[in-house]
Amino acid sequence: MPQSQSDMILDSITIDNIDDAMFFYSYILEKIIKKKKRYQHNEDIMMNQLKNLDIKHEVYRLKLLDECYASMDSDECSGSSESE
């Protein structure tokens, strides 16, 4: 948010609406924090999955899939990635 917009928002807060503004912005901040925690949780899950990934197996599987698509022989490709 540009500085001028944030200044306008702050300038619009008066003694009459300061409690409402504090409630509103604390509510928004709470929602932002929840979203950040959700993103962090999803990132933690992804990092754990990457740590447990067998890179050699995945490269081998991808090479098999690439060979299958290159040969365009569906009989040869059927189940080759599923049997791993």
| Separation between Cα atoms, residue 16 and residue 69, nearest integer Å | 68
DSSP string, 5-26: HHHHHHHH--TTTHHHHHHHHH
d(CA 33, CA 26): 10
Q: Name the token pair of 11.
A: 């300038």
Confirm whether pTM is higher than 0.95: no
Residue 23 has pLDDT above 90, yes or no: yes
Domain spans, the chain: 36-84
In this predicted structure, the answer to whether residue 34 has a pLDDT above a threshold of 60 is yes
- Among residues of the chain, what percentage have pLDDT more than 70? 82
Q: Which tens digit of pLDDT belongs to each residue from 35-81? A: 999 999 999 999 998 888 888 888 888 888 888 888 865 555 555 54
Q: How confident is the prediction for the chain on average, in pLDDT?
A: 85
Cα 65 to Cα 80: distance, rounded to the nearest angstrom:
8
